[in-house]
Chain A
């Protein structure tokens, strides 16, 4: 059974600071997805990475996928209060129909 570990569990920072959250898998990712979930809502997909070593940028968010495809990081530059939420990494599990395996998530709070 694949296990995804995310760190840190909680992160509380001031607006304008930079931060990095991590996701490590017990086995090679089929494809890695990062989601953000806000209170009272379902998770929303931020990015999908498939290739080892891949780097994707989404405005102030930078996603890196490890060469061995077993780890990933999400870096946020100049965090804003609107970045507050639960950040989840997930693996699609290859051919496993409709199943995403999620990490426990990182709860990010950005204070104005």
Chain B
């Protein structure tokens, strides 16, 4: 079974630009969560989607947004990039239909560098 895939793996952008990252979950998984990982803040939850609906959101500004398609693939978008948005962006998928300790399977991440 193929794992979670993320594209692109690496990205360089300049301040003020916008970026779209893509995540394909494990086949059959309907929940996709996104995280930002930085050396200073560690792994922080951005949002979660299930059946094309955002069910949960972390404490990030509105410049960070996402969506999920009917095939469970998900995208996240960051507008008006700032230097501090440089990070590894991870997505994770799971079976979960409700909250709880469902296992999340992580992709390899997209490393974003903002210059």
Contact = CB atoms under 8 A, between A and B. Distances in A.
Contacts, number: 80
Contacts of A50: 101
A100 B45 CA distance: 7
Contacts of B108: 40-42
Contact of B104 (A40, A100, A101): A100
A92 B106 contact: no
Interface string B81-115: 00000000010101010111111111111000000
A96 B101 contact: no
Contact of B31 (A45, A48, A97, A101): A97
**Chain A interface mostly:** loop
Given A42-B90, A93-B99, A98 B104 contact: yes
Interface of B: 4, 31-33, 35, 42-45, 48-50, 55-56, 58, 90, 92, 94, 96, 98-109
Interface of A: 30-31, 33, 40-45, 48, 50, 88, 90, 92-105
